[in-house]
Chain A
């Protein structure tokens, strides 16, 4: 536990001392809940269509795949055509791209960012590293199976996948969303204990609340 997270005794302006427990006082402790589709089918379909046509990616590169994402913004590939945009803050993003190998240290950040996104939200794993470890299969510090830790909607294979593959991946993801099958966020909430256990197994210094709102 980091010093700044340990409970501490502070003295108020009136001279009375009391305890501040950062994890309790500074972070919301609520657990995520399941938000099933609530509208009638046609409305939900319409929304799913809108969601699929408006993929806002969190600008977060975890590995070498981050390099492969940049060309998507350039004239040659221009992913904006397909309703794909990058947002600088997880609050406004719906799609988390795990772009390549994920060290345990980065995993912690990825989890935090994922949890800060608003549902429905999607996770796409890029490249073999996220699927089975890829060339980092024997690394002491890299996870080998992303869906153990986050609910992955789609994997795009390759080492690394080319931008064309990514574009195709977006189209596939859109299909999934439109079909109403991209319920990763709900899956995460449902199997929250399981995910947390997996996460905590590899992240030894868990220094944040269980769910990062």
Chain B
């Protein structure tokens, strides 16, 4: 093994060597630089591998050959090695990225770069506080130099501000060092710790000064104005280094220093860190400059790690896993993002739309965002999971809330940005990206995936990247260059095969969900054949969602469940984002979903008491005092997905603006994830009381009100897909209501809804989507009279609305019948009234849907349109066939589920004797109904045909019109504001209270951000003052504690 000191000596030596090279050998100088950095990385890597695989023990390197206190020692453990590797690699990649700038600037710049990397490594490795000071100052000088690499001459100002603040910091640090030495008689950290120097005389204050100095290097809010300016103005490759390497080094320094101070200081550091995390994320909300935004994000992430460092004792054995996970994820992602920003010409966020020209860059951007937000399968995900659990184990509920809030805010602006990149800027001209820079970015992205794998291995949970489903989905990233129909076939085959293979392992409940997800998903994919071209990005996203869903239903532990939940959320987000106008809706979807997911995580953590590997079945044994809170958190999490009223505002836009075949996926299938969660919740936790209030009763009310308001809002939509979307809210309300009834039939009804809703909503979304495709509008009043032109779509909608409205003989009636039987034994009667009211309201919007689109007057411009594309019609016909079949023999699917549910409730099941289904209260024979109805219908139709077979077929204006004639189809088609009188009666219920509320919340955060960021005035002296004030305030607070 090469001694760790050569990491430093290589950097230093190469820097000196560069000085010896002729000025003109710039290219060669650059090669030397790269070689040095590569060598440094290699050394670090060799140590990392040694620690990881050879069981290498931690080593101390004695610089002068003697042990401390007589010489400086360096220490190399796993953490040091890994972080040094991070630093060196980001240095190497930045140097590669900076090639042009470095060659222009000459060898001095290269030397400074080497010194910077060396200094960061030194900060990590050294165990001597004065040596630490030296490396910090070296890094200051080199950073000061590297800032000048930027083309932006505002960087000058930024660099100078940095130097001003550094001066203040260095004064504090030197004073701290010397008085610590005075108190402990040594400069070695370990010896100082052993001597408890911080507890002796002036040692306490000295330690505080030293600590503040190193904390200041981690750029805590609010003493960090200088750092933001540097991020904004410096060369992006330098910012990458500064963010990834300097941040990493500073954090490790804090970690090292902190052990000296005893128990007083970690909470202070944790406070500073978490405050920075939340505050920087709030401030980030109102940023419009990409690099400055990255700066805020960087500060937030480092703040989070700082918080974890402060919480070292709390998180215990997982400390390195957590802090390291967040740190490396941040380092890789932030470096990658800065590198990306170097490829983007303009500095406003929407300018990142240019990345669309290169799928690799887009993939990298997505990876980085996922890394930062902490989505699976990246290290931040595992780390956050462990962190929250560790905190929960110690009952640090407030901290959990703060961390989750901060994470949500961060996700908000990052996802918003990603949305801009994907959707803004209509016509982009073609851009040529430098291959070298793209390669650097791609390396970082792949590094992120690699880290995801490593962290998965380290996590102690099943590695997500070993999951078949996820791998299959990720495989589509690789396949993305193939034509759409090939991918479509692979997807259908894959999902069917997956179902076939997994089929024996499912219990009846899982089987129902699995059929809908896998077979149902495959059925919807059939519609995908109508797309020509490659349809970039569609299949990875969709398959990611399906993978998440498939993983969800078989999850045994809370971790698997949550991971699957996040995977399906991410996949569906990408999927929704693909719609033409869907950018804001996709954002609100992901924000609500992540908020819900965080509630889940908190709930799981609370339930398990901080045990990170916790069986879902264990939810039934949650301690009594925690149980109601667990219930509430999980229920809220799941209800975000089912879009229960109040949490529903993301749904209409997300579903309505999605692509034609995406709407059925996200409506017909994705919503079921929430229901599955609720099933799981209620199956395990059952009835739970909070302050004497029965929570399932509350759920019943929420379900009922969702059903009512969802339906009611659907009535007044002019946009067909929005109508269907609101109707989904109502339908999910029904299902929630059924579940919350907590009786056998209620659950059966909910399951019936799961199946039915999938079928008819998918079908309706496809039909309406097909119509919208042909007519070029989703506004119903602009359609009309399409029945003769699109007969198959009409039939699909007709069957769909009959099924959905619950009119016999189709399957919707089965749901209603079970519902009535279920409420007979329900404990609470009042919410049932609301359900009664909402039932017939469904007729209103369903009739409107079919009437204003297919009936009434055909418009001029639609006279020549044809039936929807063949492949969109095919799945509709499959659904029609299924609905008819399911109407006749619902028992095929339901009786097994019925038997399965019986294990949860005593009595109340159905009897499936012969053709008649019997409950304790009534009976129902689908076959007889179908036959009787069919027979009557056929006889009457024959009679009418006999009478009217010679009827004259007339055209659309041949209507009686009070002796006048219609003017134009537009004025004759009664469609707009169809239920105007109804609005008079019920309009008051339709005020968008929920939207107002959430707008208010969002507005408040943005308002705070907008006001608070004015704190950073841009004046170097003010920043120095901030630093001093920060130190003072922290001291006062710490002393007060």
Contacts and interface: CB of A to CB of B under 8 A. Distances in A.
Contact present between A and B (CB < 8 A): yes
Given A18-B863, A20-B860, A25-B863, A109 B952 contact: no
Contact of B955 (A10, A26, A91, A110): A26
B776 interface: yes
Interface in A199-213: 207-208, 212-213
Contact of A4 (B865, B958, B967): B967
Contacts of B863: 10, 12, 18, 20, 25
A11 interface: yes
A73 interface: no
Interface in B958-1000: 958, 960, 963-969
A16 interface: yes
Interface string B939-970: 00000000000001111111010011111110
Contacts of A113: 960, 963
B953 A11 contact: no
B965 A12 contact: no
B952 A12 contact: no
A60 B964 CA distance: 12
A54 interface: no
Interface in A81-111: 89-91, 109-110
Contacts of B954: 28, 213
A70 interface: no
A46 interface: no
Contacts of A213: 952, 954-955, 958
A189 to B, nearest CB: 12
Contacts of A4: 967-968
Interface string A146-187: 000000000000000000000000000000000000000000
Contact of B963 (A12, A60, A91): A60
A213 B960 CA distance: 9
A176 B672 CA distance: 70
B775 interface: yes
A30 B960 contact: no
B864 A110 contact: no
A75 interface: no
A28 B955 contact: yes
A112 B962 CA distance: 10
Interface in A1-35: 4, 8, 10-14, 16, 18, 20, 22, 25-28, 30
B956 A26 contact: yes
Nearest to B953: A28
Contacts of B318: none
Nearest to A8: B860
A89 B775 CA distance: 33
Contact of A28 (B865, B952, B960): B952
A18 B861 CA distance: 9
- Among B861, B865, B965, which residue has the most Cβ atoms of chain A within 10 A? B965
B68 to A, nearest CB: 80
Contacts of A91: 960
B534 interface: no
Given A10-B861, A60-B963, A212 B958 contact: yes
Nearest to A208: B965
Nearest to B864: A12
B864 A112 contact: no
Contacts of B530: none
Nearest to A112: B963
B787 to A, nearest CB: 16
B774 interface: yes
Given A4-B968, A13-B775, A213-B954, A90 B960 contact: yes
- Among B777, B865, B963, B966, which residue has the most Cβ atoms of chain A within 10 A? B963
Contact of B776 (A13, A25, A207): A13
Contacts of B356: none
B784 to A, nearest CB: 13
- Among B862, B955, B967, which residue has the most Cβ atoms of chain A within 10 A? B955
Contacts of B963: 60, 90, 109-110, 112-113
Interface string A107-125: 0011011001000000000
Given A20-B860, A60-B963, A208-B965, A13 B865 contact: yes
Contacts of A8: 860
- Among A4, A16, A25, A26, which residue has the most Cβ atoms of chain B within 10 A? A26
B958 A13 contact: no
Nearest to B957: A26
- Among B777, B861, B964, which residue has the most Cβ atoms of chain A within 10 A? B861
Contact of A27 (B860, B864, B952, B957): B957
A102 to B, nearest CB: 12
Contacts of A116: 958, 960
A74 to B, nearest CB: 24
Interface in B741-782: 774-777
Interface in B843-896: 860-865
A212 B957 CA distance: 9
B953 A18 contact: no
A109 B860 contact: no
A22 B972 CA distance: 14
A31 B777 CA distance: 37
A72 B719 CA distance: 49
B178 to A, nearest CB: 80
B956 A13 contact: no
Contact of B957 (A22, A60, A207): A22
B968 A89 contact: no
A47 to B, nearest CB: 13
A11 B862 CA distance: 9
Nearest to B971: A4
Contacts of B958: 27-28, 116, 212-213
A8 B970 CA distance: 15
A109 B964 contact: yes
Nearest to A115: B958
A13 B861 contact: yes
Contacts of A208: 965
Contacts of A18: 863-864
Contacts of B775: 13
A8 to B, nearest CB: 7
A60 B961 CA distance: 12
A16 B864 contact: yes
A61 to B, nearest CB: 11
A8 B775 CA distance: 19
Contacts of A207: 965
Contacts of B955: 25-28, 213
A104 B884 CA distance: 56
- Among A4, A13, A89, which residue has the most Cβ atoms of chain B within 10 A? A13
- Among A8, A27, A109, which residue has the most Cβ atoms of chain B within 10 A? A27
Contacts of A212: 958, 965
Given A26-B957, A27-B958, A213-B958, A12 B964 contact: no
Given A8-B860, A12-B862, A90-B960, A30 B965 contact: no
Given A28-B955, A112-B965, A13 B774 contact: yes
Nearest to B968: A4
Nearest to B955: A28
A118 to B, nearest CB: 10
Contacts of A16: 864
Question: When A and B form their complex, which 6 residue pairs have the shortest distance between CB atoms, in order from nearest?
Answer: A13-B776, A109-B963, A26-B957, A28-B954, A213-B958, A213-B954
24 contacts: A4-B967, A4-B968, A10-B860, A11-B861, A12-B861, A12-B862, A12-B863, A13-B777, A13-B862, A13-B865, A14-B865, A16-B864, A18-B863, A25-B863, A26-B955, A26-B969, A27-B958, A28-B953, A28-B955, A28-B958, A60-B963, A90-B960, A212-B965, A213-B952
Interface of B: 774-777, 860-865, 952-958, 960, 963-969
Given A10-B860, A28-B958, A109-B964, 20 more contacts: A4-B967, A10-B863, A11-B861, A12-B863, A13-B776, A22-B957, A26-B956, A26-B957, A26-B969, A28-B952, A28-B953, A28-B954, A109-B963, A112-B963, A112-B964, A112-B965, A116-B958, A212-B958, A213-B952, A213-B958
